[in-house]
Amino acid sequence: MYTEKLMQLFMNPKNVGRIEDADGIGEVGNPVCGDVMKIYLKIEDDRIVDVKFETFGCAAAIATSSMVTELVKGKTIEEALKVSNKDVAEALGGLPPQKVHCSLLAEEGIKAAVDDYLAKKDKTKREASETRQCAKA
Amino acid sequence: MNRFVYLDHSATTPVDQKVLEAMLPFFSMDFGNPNSLHTWGRKARQAVDQARDEVSRLINAEPSEIIFTGGGSEADNIAIKGVAFAKKDKGRHIITSAIEHHAVLDTCKWLEKEGFDITILPVDEYGTIRPEELRKAIRPDTILVTIHFANNEIGTVQPIEQLGNICREQGVLFHTDAVQAAGHISIDVKKLPIDLMTMAAHKMYGPKGVGALYIKKGVKIVPLIHGGGQERGLRSGTENTAGIVGFGKAAALASDRLAKDETEKERNLRDRLIDGILEKIEDAMLTGHRTERLPFHASFCFRYIEGESLLLRLDALGIGASSGSACTSGSLEPSHVLLAIGLPHEIAHGSLRLTLGKDTSEEDIDYVLENLPKVVESLRAMSPYGKRG
């Protein structure tokens, strides 16, 4: 059901861990739904110089986390915000239909981390605590 | 990869070599239709009759009380719908439990749409149905109680004798899905108050696609499949001779193992596995009952990680396991069984089931005990909830 590329990344994910002095942190998902993704960004001059993730979830959640961190690394935050769930799924060679929500989570994880960075930067509080509903297959 | 350790015998078992050998002649040599009167047909009929003897002996039933079906789910459907349609003028109330297999639960839900009234009994934290709950639920219009013998996901064995006795007292038919238990636990239908019982060959080293329904003498059901009148008119269709012969042989071998108490070895290995895992892995819990459980069954929940990741990482190490029921692993909702025993969603997501077989060895268990803690650790290290070193 999973592509070879996805299984490779699931078995050997890249960018796992946390960044202690992260400039932006995004946490999306819900343990009740079975997947939570936490993205840490290190940003210099509006460019993502380092990115790490921690994920609780299935193989697809772990692989999409890994893939999205690779896709945004080195990009400006503007470019990073353009990385869509489709880009993530395509880079993995496709996702089974019931796992598409994992790629959405990856896209949202980056957006949440960038939002957090911008909020801190602007010192304006943004509401980033939208409650997510469990994705349906 | 070092080893292959298959620990998913609740999903299915390998066909025993002796079973396969018994089946093979019936594909192309002794291929006759058991309903034919000639030599070829008689030979096939004789083989089906012998298999019926062997399956009946496994549970101490009469051969005439066994009908062969196309598997466990089919037998459940024949039992439940068969009783419902036969008794619908007497009453339309059916009682089941919250942790049944979908073959039972979904059949009941379908009957509900057809105008039947379904009561779903709750279970306690071990997945046991309390007999007093059943007693309270029975009404004058109750026609059937269907409660499984043992649970596939958490291994808990139900107090079948007590549950069945309540049904007998109240004059209600009692069906039990014994797909997980038959061939692994001694079952004597002459001693136990059971009216209908489902079995499947492939859970006891027989082939897939063959099941049986025990129907106690005198119990009337309506057939679902009409046609040539095979299986006492309760399941028409030319008999799956090779499959039925395989089931017969598998049942005979299971009877031998039970007589020799060979399940004791499995039980000891299971206990070593359970104790080892709970000792080596923090924040792990056993699901189901500790002692009232299937002799080959171990099931757990590990906090902070998700079951599919766990089973795929174990698979990469040559260990075959499952998370929840194999039938529910494609869905995103945690298993209905784990939720029914009161586990919160986030814990239920971290479920793992390891079910041993008759050929599981000490070394296999050692291999799991060596590798499972590492896999759990590696996934926890990746989880935002994991303990940090």
Distance CA B315, CA B310 (A): 9
3-state secondary structure of B199: strand
The 10 Å Cβ neighbour count of residue B193 is 18
Q: Do A34 and B332 touch (CB under 8 A)?
A: yes
Residue type, position B57, single letter? R
Measuring CA to CA, how many Å separate B162 from each of B135, B169, B295? 10, 11, 21
B108 is catalytic: no
pLDDT in tens, B148-182: 999 999 999 999 999 999 999 999 999 999 999 99
Residue B389 lies in a domain: no
Domain coordinates in residue numbering, chain A: 4-121
Rounded to 5 degrees, what angle do the CA atoms A103, A104, A105 make?
90
The region, left, alpha or beta by phi > 0 then psi within -120 to 50, assigned to residue A29 is: left
Residues B231 and B273 in one domain: no
Residue B230 lies in a domain: yes
Q: Please say if the pLDDT value at position B307 is more than 90.
A: yes
The CATH number of the domain where B251 resides is what? 3.40.640.10
Distance CA B358, CA A29 (A): 42
The 10 Å Cβ neighbour count of residue B331 is 13
pLDDT in tens, B38-53: 999 999 999 999 999 9
Of B231, B258, B285, the last residue of a domain is B258
Residue A36 has φ and ψ, to the nearest 5°, of: -135, 130
Taking CB atoms and an 8 Å cutoff, what residues of chain B touch A137? 331-332
Q: Which parts of B are annotated binding residues?
A: 72-73, 152, 180, 238, 327
Residues B198 and B285 in one domain: no
3-state secondary structure of B208: coil
Please tell me the number of Cα atoms within 13 Å of A84 on its side-chain side. 3
Q: Could you list the residue range(s) of the whole structural domain that residue B169 is in?
A: 17-258
Q: What is the mean pLDDT of chain B?
A: 95
Residues B151 and B45 in one domain: yes
State residue B386's pLDDT score: 65
Assigned CATH topology for domain A4-121: Sufe protein. Chain: A (3.90.1010)
Distance CA B310, CA B375 (A): 7
Q: Which parts of B are annotated binding residues for [2Fe-2S] cluster?
A: 327
Residue B166 token pair: 């309540």
Q: Do B306 and A36 touch (CB under 8 A)?
A: no
Of B210, B229, B258, the last residue of a domain is B258
Q: Please say if the pLDDT value at position B255 is more than 50.
A: yes
Out of A7, A19, A33, A118, pick the active-site residue: A33
Query: Nearest Cβ partner of A62 from B304, B309, B330?
Result: B309
SS3 content of chain A, % helix, strand, coil (to 5): 45, 20, 35
Residue to substitute from A28, A30, A56, A58, interface B, most B β-carbons within 10 A: A56
Residue B295 lies in a domain: yes
Averaged pLDDT for residues B124-137: 98
Q: How many Å lie between the alpha carbon of A134 and the closest alpha carbon of chain B?
A: 9
Q: Please say if the pLDDT value at position A126 is more than 60.
A: no
Distance CA B143, CA B1 (A): 54
pLDDT in tens, B315-372: 999 999 999 633 345 566 789 999 999 999 889 999 999 999 999 999 999 999 999 9
Residues in chain B: 389
Q: Do B346 and A32 touch (CB under 8 A)?
A: yes
pLDDT in tens, A54-102: 999 999 999 999 999 999 999 999 999 999 999 999 999 999 988 898 8
Radius of gyration of chain A (CA): 14
Residue B318 lies in a domain: yes
Taking CB atoms and an 8 Å cutoff, what residues of chain B touch A19? none
Q: How many Å lie between the alpha carbon of B251 and the closest alpha carbon of chain A?
A: 35
pLDDT in tens, B61-108: 999 999 999 999 999 999 999 999 999 999 999 999 999 999 999 999
Taking CB atoms and an 8 Å cutoff, what residues of chain B touch A7? 312
ipTM of the complex, rounded to two decimals:
0.88
Residues B154 and B111 in one domain: yes
The 10 Å Cβ neighbour count of residue B274 is 18
Residues B24 and B139 in one domain: yes
Residues B364 and B238 in one domain: no
Q: Do B332 and A7 touch (CB under 8 A)?
A: no
